[in-house]
Structure 1
Amino acid sequence: MATIIDMVKNRLPDEATLFNASLPVVVEEAQALAGYEGIPEAELSTTRKSLIADLAAKALLLPARSHYKKEMSKVEGDGAGRAEFVDKLKFLDTMETALTRSIAERRQGIQPADTGVAMIVME
């Protein structure tokens, strides 16, 4: 079974490599945000691990954008280098939309069937 860090790397391979040193902290924060703080990864279902990976990947978007914008400013004169970073920024925008949708779908799928309304048996 894949680890949460592997799942994040599948979603944002370049950015996960770029922030490899801080990736465990990002995953830990995402796990807490998802409501699974303190639960060992081995005890989480694949759906829950996917939710955490989506949250962690989404958390990487802002620092990645910042990094790429700084790098883009360094290559202002080089059209090819600038185009590469523009493409990366467009990709991150697309990923943000996809991750937002995925997070909502996964949270909905994890929600218990309980609606909060007590069942009453009528005789």
Structure 2
Amino acid sequence: MATILDMVRNRLPDEAALFAASLPVVVEEAQALAGYEGIAEADLSTTRKSLIADLAAKALLLPARSHYKKEMNKVEGDGAGKAEFVDKLKFLAEMESALTRSIAERRQGIAPADTGVAMIVVE
């Protein structure tokens, strides 16, 4: 079974490598944000791990944008070098939309089955 870190790396491979040192902290924060703080990863379903990975990947978007914009400003010349960073920034914008949708769908899918209230049949 894939780990949360593997899932984040699958979503944003370049950015996960770029922020490899802080990635465990980002995942820990995303796990808390999802409401699963203190729960061992082995005890989480794949859907829950996927939600955490989406939240962590979304959290990487802002620092990644900042990094690429700084690098783009360093590139000199006729602008050919800037095209790579423009493409990366465009990709991050598309990923933000995709992650936002995915997070909403996963939360909706988890919520009905995960209300925290015991199901009791009343006759």
Same structural fold, with TM-score higher than 0.5 when normalized by the shorter chain: yes
Percent of aligned pairs sharing the same letter? 85
Deviation of 1:80 (Å): 2.1
Q: Aligned partners of 2:48, 2:23: CA distance in 1, in Å? A: 18
Deviation of 1:79 (Å): 1.9
Unaligned runs of 5+ in 1: none
Q: Aligned partners of 1:83, 1:34: CA distance in 2, in Å? A: 36
User: What is residue 73 of structure 1 aligned with on the other side?
Assistant: 73
Q: Aligned partners of 1:44, 1:37: CA distance in 2, in Å? A: 11
User: What is residue 94 of structure 2 aligned with on the other side?
Assistant: 94
Residue 23 of structure 1 aligns with an amino acid whose one-letter code is L
**Where do 1:37-56 residues align within 5 Å?**
37-56=37-56
Which deviations, in whole Å up to 9, do the C-alpha atoms of 1:37-68 show, x marking residues without a partner? 00000000000000000000000000000000
Q: Aligned partners of 1:75, 1:25: CA distance in 2, in Å? A: 31
Deviating above 3 A after TM superposition, structure 1's stretches of 4 or more consecutive aligned residues are 118-122
Deviation of 1:121 (Å): 5.8
Residue 64 of structure 2 aligns with an amino acid whose one-letter code is A
RMSD of aligned alpha carbons: 1.9
TM-score normalised to the size of structure 1?
0.91
User: What is residue 5 of structure 1 aligned with on the other side?
Assistant: 5
Residue 2 of structure 1 aligns with an amino acid whose one-letter code is A
Q: Aligned partners of 2:65, 2:76: CA distance in 1, in Å? A: 16
Q: 1:120 to 1:53 in 2, by over 3 A?
A: closer
User: What is residue 59 of structure 1 aligned with on the other side?
Assistant: 59
Q: Aligned partners of 1:120, 1:50: CA distance in 2, in Å? A: 31
Which deviations, in whole Å up to 9, do the C-alpha atoms of 1:81-103 show, x marking residues without a partner? 10000000000000000000000
Q: Aligned partners of 2:27, 2:4: CA distance in 1, in Å? A: 7
TM-score normalised to the size of structure 2?
0.91
